Amino acid sequence: MKKSMRVAAYAVCVEEEKVLLARWVGRTGRKWTLPGGGLDHGEDPVDAVAREVTEETGYTVAVEALLGIDTVRREFHHSGVGAALRGGRVTDWHGIRVVYAARVVGGELRFEVGGSTDMAAWFDLSEVPGLDRTDLVDTALSLARHRPPTGRA
């Protein structure tokens, strides 16, 4: 089994009871998630989240606080001709998600082109439960609401 790890940083931007989300384009469809993404080698997480928010939404943000660090682990079963010839392949994936509170300080809302997201939008917090979203959205909003001392939701 192949093992893979990814460290990413995400921003919770809440203004006037609205949250900024980006629509992630994945292998299995599109889901709303927090703006953010993977760190480049050697990149500080605060710099990464600011860069990713700008790439995905057009906004410039000020990172205000570390809300927490969430981890997720999943197995991915690869398919296709090559995988079938090798008896299938499984990846044990471990994601480390650094979650920050951030405030929009500039820029204009726009959509990312050619990236991992295709839209960005503000949603009333009351609308979030009805959205097709990643689990990260609920985890991050819980961190923002409760601010647990350990940084774990």
Judged by average pLDDT, the poorest of 29-43, 75-89, 119-133 is 75-89
**Cα–Cα distance between 72 and 131 in angstroms, integer?**
21
Phi, psi for 35 (deg, rounded to 5)? -65, 135
User: Parallel, antiparallel, or unpaired for β 18-26 and 117-124?
Assistant: antiparallel
Q: Please, what are the domains in the chain? A: 7-75+96-146 (3.90.79.10)
Residues 49 and 63 sit within 8 Å (Cβ to Cβ): yes
| Confidence grade of residue 86 (pLDDT, cut at 50, 70, 90) | low
Q: What is the pLDDT of residue 63?
A: 98
Cα 27 off chain centre by: 15
Count how many Cα atoms sit within 13 Å of the Cα of residue 144 in the half-sphere of its side chain. 22
Q: Which of 53, 34, 7, 43 is nearest to 142 (CA)?
A: 34
pTM more than 0.85: yes
Per cent of the chain over pLDDT 70 is 93
| Mean pLDDT, range 54-65, rounded to an integer | 98
